[in-house]
Amino acid sequence: MRATVGLVEITDVSKSYGAVRVLRDVSLTVQPGEVIALIGPSGSGKSTLLRTINHLETVDTGSVTVDGQYIGYELRSGRLHELPEKNVLERRTQIGIVFQNFNLFPHLTALENVVEAPVALKRATKAEAREQAKALLARVGLADKEHHYPRQLSGGQQQRVAIARALALNPKVLLFDEPTSALDPELVGEVLDVIRELSKSGTTLIIVTHEIGFAREVADRVVFLEQGEILEEGTPSQVLSKPRHPRTRDFLRKVL
């Protein structure tokens, strides 16, 4: 096992669904404050890889740590043992995730959606959590929508609430799984603006995206995944402008 050096350390991760090998010996180190854009064709394993980071997916072999800690396991007598669900939930709070389809609680207002986790986990009093939630909603440009329910908000607004909610537990890393793919084109920009602001603020981000222009602009490193393997990674100009691998070139030709 490699020494743990990165904030997120993915080491030789493989995973299959039945006979289908979805991840093949994937290793990736993400440094604190780094912004990673994870790109690749549909079905290449991007979501699965992202979900292994917070243990929404288990791995068959290999390991994932966040800030030196296994999320779903603990090391005892040199072996990994699965943790009880309760401990997994606790550890998972260090990792924020924003999904394609927002996944807000429909019966809660924007403010209540953001307040919910810190209060449920007893990280803050209700009053503290409300103050913080108001600040987070203001940060994503929704100060005037605190009392709106998700159905009263546009997709772009809902996704911004989801980002505020993910930030409410002050995560060490924030994962985005195609955060703008479900949005009407005219709403994409307002969500990318929020992610751009986060990228400048030193938050560690791993973003699965098909927005290649955006990846070029915000990412410190672009990682190209194909058929469960990292084929190529490097700075945006290396991977997006001078891809070494023919399959990266093929992919970029199709999406650009």
Give the binding site for Mg ion (CB under 5 A). Answer: 46-47
Q: Which stretch binds ligand ADP (CB under 6 A): 42-50, 67-75, 181-189, 213-221?
A: 42-50
CB-based burial of residue 181 (10 Å sphere; 0-12 exposed, 13-18 middle, 19+ buried)? middle
CB of 100 to ligand ADP, least distance (A): 10
Least distance in Å: CB of 251 to ligand ADP?
11
- Decide whether 70 or 251 has the Cβ nearer to ligand ADP: 251
Closest CB 41 distance from ligand ADP, rounded Å: 7
Strand duo 73-76 + 69-70: pairing: unpaired
Instruction: Name the DSSP class of 83.
Output: P
CB of 149 to ligand ADP, least distance (A): 29
Q: For ligand ADP, which is the closer residue by CB, 17 or 78?
A: 17
Which of these segments, 14-22, 159-167, 196-204, 216-224, binds ligand ADP (CB under 6 A)? 14-22
For residue 204, the cross-strand partners are: 173
The residue assigned the tokens 């299959």 is 16
Residue with smaller CB distance to Mg ion, 70 or 214: 214
C-alpha distance across the termini of the chain, in Å? 38
The answer to whether 31 and 206 are in contact (CB under 8 A) is: no
Q: How far is the CB of 175 from ligand ADP (least distance, A)?
A: 12
Report d(CA 38, CA 149) in Å as an integer: 32
Tell me how crowded residue 4 is: count the other CB atoms within 10 A of its CB. Answer: 15
What whole-number distance in Å separates Cα of residue 248 and Cα of residue 123? Answer: 44
- Phi, psi (rounded to 5 degrees) for 26: -85, 130
17 near ligand ADP, judged by CB under 6 A: yes
The site partner of 91 among Mg ion, ligand ADP, none (C-beta below 5 to 8 Å per kind) is none
Measured from the CB atom, the residue of 50 and 95 that comes closer to Mg ion is 50
Q: Tell whether residue 48 is a contact of ligand ADP (CB under 6 A).
A: yes
Whole-angstrom CA distances from 152 to 49, 124, 149, 157 are 33, 28, 5, 9
Identify which range of 45-53, 165-173, 209-217, 248-256 contacts ligand ADP by CB under 6 A. 45-53
Binding region for ligand ADP (CB under 6 A) out of 15-23, 75-83, 110-118, 168-176: 15-23
Does 22 bind ligand ADP (CB under 6 A)? Our answer is yes
CA distance 139 to 56: 28
256 binds, among ligand ADP, Mg ion, none (CB under 5 to 8 A by kind): none
Length of the chain: 256
Contact positions vs ligand ADP (CB under 6 A) = 17, 20, 22, 40, 42-48
